[in-house]
């Protein structure tokens, strides 16, 4: 059971660090099927399954948030990354929409 499924994301989170205003903006979620061998290649399948179950994560799919940092000050805005567009997953490519 994934406890975050179905929660609406605002697309960004703003916060301050010293004199800087920062925003983490989501580009979407990258879905990776068949978790092994890309992740945890040296862990026995049963141990991985137990870990995922214990942490309420899906057993057959890994969902990774694609987040981009926007640094803002009085002089300029600096976008640290440009996201992946829809190249990695149909559920990515949300950066432009979430920048608005």
Helix residue ranges, H only, 29-81? 45-54
The pLDDT score that the predictor gives to residue 47 is 93
Question: Which tens digit of pLDDT belongs to each residue from 42-63?
Answer: 989 899 899 989 999 888 888 8
Residue range 54-73: mean pLDDT, rounded: 87
Q: What are phi and psi of 53, to 5 degrees?
A: -60, -45
Q: Is the pLDDT of residue 41 over 50?
A: yes
The pLDDT score that the predictor gives to residue 8 is 53
Question: Which tens digit of pLDDT belongs to each residue from 7-39?
Answer: 455 788 889 998 889 999 888 888 888 888 888
Q: What is the 8-class DSSP label of residue 65?
A: E
Residue 19: partners with Cβ closer than 8 Å, 6 or more residues away: 73
Spell out the domain ranges in the chain.
12-99
């Amino acid at each position: 059971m994934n406890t975050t499924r179905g929660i609406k994301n605002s697309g960004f989170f703003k916060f301050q660090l010293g004199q800087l205003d920062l925003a983490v903006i989501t580009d979407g979620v990258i879905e990776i099927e068949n978790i092994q061998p890309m992740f945890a290649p040296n862990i026995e399948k049963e141990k991985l399954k137990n870990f995922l179950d214990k942490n309420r994560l899906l057993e057959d799919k890994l969902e990774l948030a694609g987040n981009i940092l926007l640094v803002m000050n009085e002089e300029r805005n600096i976008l640290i990354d440009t996201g992946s567009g829809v190249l990695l997953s149909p559920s990515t490519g949300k950066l432009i929409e979430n920048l608005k």
